Amino acid sequence: MALQEEFEKQGRWLFKRRGYLPLFCLLGGLALYFLDNAPGVRQVKYQTWYETGCLCFSVIGLVIRIFTVGYTAKNTSDRNTSGQLADSLNTTGIYSMVRHPLYLGNYFMWTGFALLTCNAWFVIVYSLAYWLYYERIMFAEEQYLRGKFGDTYLRWAENTPAFLPGLRKFRRSDLSFSVKKVLRKEKNGFCALFLLFALFHVSGKLLQAKHDYNYYILFAAAGSLLIYLVLKYLKRCTTVLDDAR
C-alpha cells in the first residue's frame, strides 16, 4: 500500500478514536502532577498564579472551539466519530485563517493540563504525540474534502494554513453565530475543562496536606457542572436549544 493510502487509512481509524489521546495525556499528566505535589517535593513558587495561567491557556482553546462551532454549517464533522461529514466547505470566518481550527483549540485545551505538570519534557512529548496523532487525521479529512469539493477545496487549501493561523487572512463568516449550537455541542468540553482543573488542584492540595484552595477554580467547576446539567436537561426534555443548525 502506498504511503498516501496508508496515511489516509490510519487517519480514518484514528478519527474514530480521536478522543483517546487526551485521556492518555490526562492520565500521564495526573501521574506527574501527583509526583510533583508529593510530600517533600519542592513546590512551584506562586503555584496559585501558575495554575490560573494554565487554566487561562486551556480557556483559549475552548474559546477557539466556541468561535469555530458557532459559525459552522449544519452537517459538518465536530464531535461525531463515525466518519468525516461535510455538506458544505467552510472557507470564511476562522476557516479563512486555518484549516483545522477545532484541533488547534483542542491542542490549547489539553496543553493547559500538560503545563500543570511543570515538566518541560512531558509538554514536549505530548506536543509531538499530538502532532503525529492528528497529522494522520487531518490528512484523511483533507483527502475526503478534496474528493468531495475538488478544485474549490484545493484553492482554499493553497491559501489557508493547516494548523498555525494566518491572522491577516481573516474574512468575515458567511453565517451568523449560533449560540444554541455552541450550547448543544460544547457543554461537555466546557464542563470537563473546569472539573478536571478542580480535580488536579484539589488532589495537589490533599497530597501537600494544605487547605489554601483556589476557590475561583472550585467555584468555576461547580458553576460549569450546574450549567452542564441545565443544558443537558434543556436538550433532552425541551426544544429550547433546537435550531436549523
Query: Tens digit of pLDDT for each residue in 129-179?
Result: 888 888 888 888 888 888 888 888 899 999 999 888 988 888 898 888 999
Domain membership of residue 183 (yes or no) is no
Which of 34 and 163 is assigned the larger pLDDT?
A: 163
Q: Which residue has the cell 487509512?
A: 9
- Residue 17's domain spans which residues? 3-176
Alpha helices in the chain, H assignment, sequence order: 3-15, 20-36, 47-70, 101-116, 120-149, 151-159, 179-185, 187-208, 215-237
Residues 172 and 150: their CA atoms lie apart, in Å, by 23
Contacts of 17 by beta carbon, 8 Å cutoff, 6+ apart: 81
Residue type, 56: C
Helix (H) or strand (E) holding 1: none
Are residues 178 and 70 in contact, defined by beta-carbon separation less than 8 angstroms? Answer: yes
Residue 242 lies in a domain: no
Indicate the pTM of the whole model. 0.85
> Pseudo-torsion of CA 38, 39, 45, 48, nearest 10°?
70
> How does pLDDT run across 192-212, given as a tens digit for each residue?
999 989 988 888 788 777 777
How many angstroms separate the CA atoms of 90 and 78, rounded? 13
Q: Can you give the pLDDT at residue 132?
A: 85
Whether the CB-CB separation of 73 and 90 falls below 8 Å is answered with yes
Residue 129 in any domain: the answer is yes
Q: What's the structural domain count of the chain? A: 1
Domain contains 195: no
**Residue 80 is assigned to a structural domain of this protein:** yes
* CATH code of the domain in which 21 resides: 1.20.120
Higher-scoring residue by pLDDT: 65, 7: 65
In a domain, 227, yes or no: no
- Give CA–CA dist 19/103, Å, rounded: 11
10, 118 in Cβ contact below 8 A?
Answer: no
- Give the mean pLDDT of the chain: 82
At position 76, the amino acid (one-letter code) is: T
Task: Give the per-residue pLDDT at 168.
Answer: 86
pLDDT, tens digit (0-9, with 9 covering 90-100), for 87-118: 678 888 899 999 999 999 999 999 998 888 88
User: Does residue 224 sit within a domain?
Assistant: no
Q: Quick one: cell of 237? A: 426534555
Task: Please indicate, yes or no, if residue 124 is contained in any of the structural domains.
Answer: yes
Q: How far apart are CA 140 and CA 146, in angstroms?
A: 10
